[in-house]
Amino acid sequence: MNIYDQAKTISNQQDFIEFLKLFRKDYQENKDKWENDDLMSFLEGLQGYSIDKQQETISWKILAELLLAAIVYE
């Protein structure tokens, strides 16, 4: 299962932890495909998407979505 499919199935903390394991593995194996492949650009992407998302409530699934968006968001 890829990280995008895994993110869609998150419904609790344990699911999020499993997602993070896969997320780290994806970075290790596919770093060259990540647009924001260093910490500074990743955090900038995370901040930008968080602002644009304008989410009032947060869930484990939304946390995963934020991390996925930070891979490529400018």
- Looking at residue 19, its amino acid is F
Query: Residue 52 burial (CB < 10 Å; 0-12/13-18/19+)?
Result: exposed
The count of structural domains within the chain is 1
Predicted confidence (pLDDT) per residue in 10-69, tens digit: 999 999 999 999 999 999 999 999 999 999 999 999 999 999 988 788 899 999 999 999
* Residues spanned by the domain of 9: 3-70
- Looking at residue 26, its amino acid is D
Cα–Cα distance for residue pair 48/7, rounded to 1 Å: 20
Residue recorded with tokens 């924001």: 36
